[in-house]
Amino acid sequence: MRVLVVEDETELAAYVKRGLEREGFATDVAGDGELGLEMASTGAYDAVVLDIMLPKLNGYRVCAELRARSNWVPILMLTAKDGEYDEAEALDTGADDYLTKPFSFVVLVAHLRALLRRGGGARPAVLTVGDLRLDPARRSFAVGDDIVALTPTEMAIMEVLMRRGGDVVSKSEILDSCWDWAYDGDVNIVEVYIRYLRKKIDVPYGRTQIQTVRGAGYRLVEHRE
């Protein structure tokens, strides 16, 4: 899952980015409204965390402009307590939810996960493919009754493969959803992580659920006894 944080307070932005990445979200930061609008318009994000008081273009205008362009990315707006702006106005401009500053990180993540479930069609809270089970909110993954420990990046890749329900997902799509834009290395890093995943969820169970589709990418197939 990929999140854009539009926030000009650099310390707060860095704190949110670090925290979200620990939770397995690939996170980019835009430091002003114009850049935020431009990045959000690429359509590369599953959700946008949008501050209201921003240089160049305020959060209301960014939000209204995205909606005017028929961009329905879920937006969580950050409002300031006692500010001259309020929550009702945030929702009026097309935000899906709001959070009042200062907020706790745990609450931010809970709001984001709820938005991701609601936004962009049906997103089940817990993903299952055969006996594989991934719970994004609890950051847990299981094969049958075995809880398997995955790193945040491995978890993010499994989430992408599971959400795609057996379709082929290209390496660059995986890279885009699971790494942030600061990573400009080799797309083959994806192969390395697929190998880690196979060692955890295929090899110990004598399966080949993560399949390589030559020249195209990877797909996850349901295991049948």
Q: How many angstroms separate the CA atoms of 86 and 83, rounded?
A: 7
* Binding piece for Ca ion, criterion CB under 5 A, among 47-55, 87-95, 135-143, 191-199: 47-55
- The correct pick among 51, 96, 154, 159 for binding Ca ion (CB under 5 A) is 51
Of residues 100 and 140, the one with the C-beta less far from Ca ion = 100
Q: How many angstroms separate the CA atoms of 203 and 90, rounded?
A: 49
Binding mask 85-124 for Ca ion (x = CB under 5 A): ----------------------------------------
Distances (CA, A) of 35 to 6, 145, 204, 221: 8, 46, 46, 39
Binding of Ca ion at residue 46 (CB under 5 A)? no
Least distance from C-beta 30 to Ca ion, angstroms? 12
Binding of Ca ion at residue 8 (CB under 5 A)? yes
* Binding piece for Ca ion, criterion CB under 5 A, among 43-51, 115-123, 167-175, 181-189: 43-51
Residue 113: φ, ψ to 5°: -65, -40
> Which residue in the shown chain puts its C-beta closest to Ca ion?
53
Q: Is 199 helix (H, G, I), strand (E, B) or coil?
A: helix
Of residues 12 and 168, the one with the C-beta less far from Ca ion = 12
Q: How many angstroms separate the CA atoms of 72 and 84, rounded?
A: 26
Q: Residue 21, Cβ neighbours under 10 Å: how many?
A: 17
Q: Residue 213, Cβ neighbours under 10 Å: how many?
A: 12
- The correct pick among 12, 44, 53, 64 for binding Ca ion (CB under 5 A) is 53
Say which residue the tokens 């935020």 belong to: 36
Least distance from C-beta 12 to Ca ion, angstroms? 8
Binding of Ca ion at residue 32 (CB under 5 A)? no
Measured between alpha carbons, how far apart are the two ends of the chain, in Å? 31
Residues that bind Ca ion (CB under 5 A): 8, 51, 53
